[in-house]
């Protein structure tokens, strides 16, 4: 195994800058690693090795000419298969888009290309980002590198698994209700959801447009800060893109020293939380206390309404967003249809998987005449109350600390009941409903050697403070150095 794949992205960037290694060598090392373990991990839907090496060669030429484009130049970054990359597959792990090739780049793709990052592979996911285990992929179920019988989480399961398996130093996923943070916790890596609007959604195949957000996966908080720096920025093509002043996130890791006032919500430590996760997170709370941080018990009473609100609003938006997949234009088209209506019916029946169909049906129902006011409108009102409650709490604390998930990773097929699967996101969906930033950082292992994640929730656009808090914890512990044995 090449020593390069064990390096963090920040270390590889420094080595490239010092001329100690070439981007071709780095990229080839991750290609070799992927070829060695991918059959077991199943993180990738597709890999364009020749293109990755061509990008690496171009990076080396720039660097030789003294024209390096920044810290990401020459660093491989893998992308969830929901992000548009021109001339590359864009399947969303669905039969509906199985043969679709993107004609344009997402905004984050444009930014990464401009900074010289080596775009490496298309990562598996739950179909159209609907799921929490990657078992809803139409192509394969990704595996958790820490236990190949267990799921890596979802919907960005491939994005977390590839970083945990050292198949890429960095990856990008999308988070609608926890789809970055939950798989990060399951796979023992860092996963971050930025404030809604900080990263442009242009080129993100929409699931629920008012909730979706791109974010980084990495092995360390510093790497997450480095990748976040590379993908933020205003974009006129996204009407929700926010014009915010972007700080230096990596510099903030050491510049912001605290001490901070951290809120701990009692509702997140109630019935249903795995005892080993509870103990690990409580140890993290004691650590911050020992560092001089003020710990305050808080209450987020609206938490009990988050799950039903989320599954009303997210499915409503999904039913609308997925209406474009009709078998007429660029999607799967059924054969032997008798007329246009029959074509719609058969194409969607064949192209969508069971979970996507379930959410379309639910979303269409809550938007239908006679039920709109009772469900969708009421859910929007409760969403406002959820955000207001967070804003009120943030008047007294700098951040909120919680477990990322109520349980560690589970075995494939274990949660066949949809409701039990949905409950797995109970600690993450509030953040999306409120549009807040949050990060999951490794904070230990269960007795069965499965990773545990700690979640820090920040104020809107306070990513720098949140990253600094996460970095403080990470640097005082050795969880970041653990590597799954594959």
Q: Are 134 and 158 in contact (CB under 8 A)?
A: yes
Clarify whether 155 is annotated catalytic. yes
Candidates 80, 193, 415, 459; catalytic one: 80
DSSP category for residue 310: H
Alpha-carbon span 316 to 227, nearest angstrom: 32
Q: For residue 413, is it left (φ>0), alpha (ψ between -120 and 50) or beta?
A: left
How far is Cα 136 from Cα 347, in angstroms, rounded to an integer? 18
Calpha distance 349→336 (Å, rounded) = 14
The DSSP element (H or E) to which 387 belongs, if any, is helix 378-393
Q: How far is it, in rounded angstroms, from Cα 480 to Cα 227?
A: 17
Q: Is the Cβ–Cβ distance between 191 and 214 less than 8 Å? A: no
First to last CA, the chain: 11
Which residue of the set 132, 155, 174, 347 is catalytic? 155
The tokens for 377 are: 């409108």
Q: Exactly one of 93, 137, 179, 347 is catalytic; which is it?
A: 179
* Interatomic CA distance for residues 466 and 477, integer angstroms: 17
Buried b vs exposed e over 55-89: b needs ≥16 C-beta within 10 Å?
bbbbbbebbeeeebbebbbbbbbbbbbbbbbeebb
Pairing, β 190-193 against β 451-458: unpaired
**Cβ-based neighbour number of residue 197 at 10 Å:** 19
- Catalytic residue check, 142: no
Place of tokens 């090392």: 29
CA proximity to 300, closest of 272, 271, 263, 332: 263
Question: Is 80 annotated as catalytic?
Answer: yes
* Residue 376 to residue 309: CA distance in whole angstroms: 8
Contact, 138 vs 127, CB < 8 A?
A: yes
Catalytic residues, by residue number, are 80, 155, 179
């Amino acid at each position: 195994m090449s020593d390069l794949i064990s390096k963090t992205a920040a270390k590889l960037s420094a080595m490239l800058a010092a001329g100690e290694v070439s981007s071709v060598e780095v990229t080839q090392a991750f290609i070799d690693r992927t070829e060695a373990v991918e059959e077991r991990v199943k993180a990738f839907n597709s890999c364009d090795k020749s293109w990755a090496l061509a990008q690496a060669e171009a990076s080396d030429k720039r660097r030789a000419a003294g024209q390096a484009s920044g810290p990401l130049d020459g660093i491989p970054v893998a992308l969830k298969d929901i992000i548009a990359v021109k001339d590359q597959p864009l399947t969303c792990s669905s039969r509906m888009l199985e043969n679709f090739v993107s004609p344009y780049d997402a905004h984050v793709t444009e930014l990464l290309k401009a900074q010289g990052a080596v775009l490496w592979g298309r990562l598996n996911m739950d179909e159209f980002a609907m799921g929490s285990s990657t078992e809803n992929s139409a192509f394969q179920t990704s595996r958790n590198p820490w236990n190949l019988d267990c799921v890596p989480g979802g919907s960005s399961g491939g994005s977390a698994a590839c970083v945990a398996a050292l198949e890429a130093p960095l990856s990008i996923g999308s988070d609608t209700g926890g789809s970055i943070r939950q798989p990060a916790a399951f796979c023992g890596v860092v996963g971050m959801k930025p404030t809604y609007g900080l990263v442009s959604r242009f080129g993100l195949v929409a699931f629920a447009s008012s909730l979706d957000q791109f974010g980084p996966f990495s092995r360390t908080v510093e790497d997450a800060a480095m990748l976040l720096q590379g993908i933020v920025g205003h974009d006129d093509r996204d009407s929700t893109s926010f014009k915010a002043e972007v700080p230096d996130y990596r510099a903030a890791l050491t510049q912001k020293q605290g001490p901070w006032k951290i809120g701990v919500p009692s509702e997140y430590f109630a019935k249903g939380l795995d005892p080993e996760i509870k103990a690990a997170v409580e140890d993290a709370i004691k650590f911050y206390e020992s560092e001089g941080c003020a710990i305050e018990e808080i209450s987020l009473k609206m938490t009990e309404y988050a799950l039903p609100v989320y599954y009303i609003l997210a499915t409503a938006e999904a039913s609308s967003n997925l209406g474009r997949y009709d078998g007429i234009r660029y999607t799967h088209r059924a054969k032997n249809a008798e007329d246009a209506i029959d074509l719609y019916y058969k194409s969607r029946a064949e192209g969508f998987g069971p979970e996507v169909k379930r959410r379309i049906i639910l979303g269409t129902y809550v938007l239908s005449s006679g039920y709109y006011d009772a469900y969708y409108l009421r859910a929007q009102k409760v969403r406002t109350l959820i955000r207001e409650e967070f804003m009120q709490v943030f008047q007294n604390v700098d951040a909120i600390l919680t477990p990322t998930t109520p349980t560690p990773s589970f075995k494939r097929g274990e949660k066949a009941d949809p409701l039990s699967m949905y409950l797995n996101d109970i600690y993450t969906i509030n953040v999306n409903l409120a549009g807040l930033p949050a990060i999951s950082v490794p904070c230990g292992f269960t007795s069965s050697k499965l990773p545990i994640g700690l979640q820090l929730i920040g104020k809107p656009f306070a990513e720098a403070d949140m990253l600094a808090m996460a970095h403080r914890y990470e640097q005082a512990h050795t969880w970041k150095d653990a590597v799954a044995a594959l």
